[in-house]
Amino acid sequence: MLALEALHKRYGDVVALDGASLAAHRGRILGFLGPNGAGKTTAMRSVFGLVSLDDGTTAWDGEPISPASRLRFGYMPEQRGLYPKMRVADQITWLGRLRGMAVSDASEAARHWLGRLGLANRLDDRVEHLSHGNQQRAQLAASLVHDPELLVLDEPFSGLDPMGADAMADILRDRAESGAAVVFSSHQLDVVEDLCDDVAVIADGRIVLDGTIEGVRASAPKRRLEVAFADPTIIWTPPIAAEPSRNGRGVQAWLIPADADPGALLEDAGGRGRVTQFTFSPPALSEIFREAVQ
């Protein structure tokens, strides 16, 4: 288990981390969500000793993270980068060896992952001659080659087309299924809702929400209310504190306090006209997210 406890980091006047704590478990995918500048990258870099924390601890399986434990971690930095003149397979093999693999194992693993990512016929190309998308794939192979116990990916979905995003999601799921703890950050919500088992939402350097997806949705302080009338021209507003939400065609939607009484609301709406659709449910992750980081 990866445990980040009470991380603090300032850059001059900017507070990047303000007591953030985080846990990622083996066999599960943690989505680390937050708007730009919230402190996601700083927290992830602290795992690899790339940030000198003002305070807080980082631990893996209960032990403080050491250079030796980092050899069992895979990392995809936000700022991607490989040696541009080095051949793809050589480079991934070399990175495997740097994390302690034997030459033959590293070479085999490099070929395996590059093949799986669709780079089987580019093994001897220099990295600089790969397209942007292929460089991203090579970068992913670099984080996977040594079969890490912990995989930390900073914005892995940014810049991917839908097919690339699907392939990425497949690989993350596959890694979690084979026992690794997977953490990835994102500032876009739509991609991740179906993918992660757990979420942690960070804003201004503090974790504002975390837990399993179901738990987070169930314990949200708001509920989503959707109402549709047979006569689409009817305008109705709930008789309680409600904020309008994104609505579909002919459907009106609000976020309302979770303790509101759906029966009373349905009765009130029914007084205006015939109700054809009425939903009272936990909000979508993206709504919780928006709510949390405001």
Ligand X SMILES: Nc1ncnc2c1ncn2[C@@H]1O[C@H](COP(=O)(O)OP(=O)(O)O)[C@@H](O)[C@H]1O
Residues that bind ligand X (CB under 6 A): 11, 14, 16, 34, 36-42
105 binds other proteins (CB under 8 A): no
The answer for residues whose C-beta is within 8 angstroms of residue 120's C-beta and 6 or more apart is 111, 114
Chain-centroid distance of CA 150 in Å reads: 14
Q: Is 207 exposed, middle or buried (0-12, 13-18, 19+ CB in 10 A)?
A: buried
Instruction: Quote the DSSP letter at residue 284.
Output: P
Q: Which two tokens stand for residue 173?
A: 């799921």
Examine residue 100 and tell whether it contacts other proteins (CB under 8 A): yes
DSSP code, position 87:
B
Distances (CA, A) of 145 to 106, 111, 132, 290: 7, 9, 20, 36
Distance between CA atoms of residues 245 and 255, nearest Å: 6
CB of 39 to ligand X, least distance (A): 4
The window from 31-39, 43-51, 243-251, 286-294 that contacts other proteins (CB under 8 A) reads: 43-51
100 makes contact, choosing from ligand X, Mg ion, other proteins, none, with CB < 5 to 8 Å by partner type, with other proteins
Site residues for Mg ion, 98-137, by CB under 5 A, read none
- Binding of residue 41 to Mg ion (CB under 5 A): yes
CA atoms of 257 and 239, how far apart (whole Å): 12
Stretch that binds other proteins, among 51-59, 113-121, 201-209, 248-256 (CB under 8 A): 51-59
Nearer to other proteins, 45 or 111 (CB): 45
Does 80 engage in binding with other proteins (CB under 8 A)?
yes
Residues touching other proteins, count (CB under 8 A): 29
Closest contact distance (angstroms) between CB of 152 and ligand X is 13
Residue partners of 90: CB distance under 8 A and separation at least 6: none
Specify the stretch interacting with other proteins by CB under 8 A; choose among 81-89, 108-116, 248-256, 264-272.
81-89
Residue type, 255: L
74 strand-pairing partners: 151
Residue 96 CB, nearest approach to other proteins (Å): 10
Q: Please, which of residues 142-171 interact with other proteins by CB under 8 A? A: 142
* Residue from the set 79, 104, 178, 233 that interacts with other proteins by CB under 8 A: 79
49 touches, from ligand X, Mg ion, other proteins, none (C-beta below 5 to 8 Å by class): other proteins
